[in-house]
Amino acid sequence: MGIKSFQGSRKQQNVAAPVALKVRDYMTTSLITFRPDQSVQEVVESLIKYKISGGPVVNNKQELVGIISEGDCLKQLSESRYYNMPLDHDNVEKRMVTNVETIDGNMDVFDAANKFLNSKRRRFPIVENGKLIGQISQKDILKAALELKGENWNSTVKNRS
């Protein structure tokens, strides 16, 4: 005769399904963007006004063509003083970085956090069908982590087969 359990029937446990935290759920979609023909002085004014450290550069079709940052503007400022040129001498197209690394909006935020750590970047644009649709920053990733404060980190990891 087998052993019987006298605990009674077990209560069904509520096991939450793994939550996939996607970059698109935390990205910023209201972006301050710049145009290639804008002056660097206009960019500096916008960076100060909106308290941002840089932004995407897009053409008339909303296609990402580059990124310009405070550092890019500082280089222009330094050179303009050295060569005694006015600040509005240069435009964004001459100063922006054109080899822009992007992130897929469907990427897991933890994978995005790793990408930030490995690349030393402050922001990644998100492009879909050739158009800029948003941007994710390190701060956005931190906000996602705060929302998980009471969660089990492992429950958010997607199944990798």
Contacts of 120-128 with CB under 8 Å at 24 or more apart are 122/53, 122/54, 122/69, 123/54, 123/67, 125/56, 125/64, 125/67, 125/100, 126/23, 126/24, 126/27, 126/102, 127/64, 127/102
CATH class of residue range 23-147 = alpha beta
Rounded Cα distance between 111 and 113, Å, is 5
pLDDT tens string 30-65? 999 999 999 998 999 999 999 999 999 999 999 999
Answer yes or no: is pLDDT of 87 > 70.
no
Task: Say what the pLDDT of residue 85 is.
Answer: 61
* β partners of residue 126: 134
The two three-digit tokens of residue 98, written as one number: 């054109």
Report residue 156's pLDDT band, with 50, 70 and 90 as the boundaries: low
Percent of the chain with pLDDT over 90: 62
Domain spans of the chain, in order of start: 23-147
CB 26 within 8 A of CB 110: no
Give the residue among 60, 131, 59 at the shortest CA–CA distance from 96.
59
Q: Where does 53-93 show beta strands of DSSP type E?
A: 54-58, 64-69
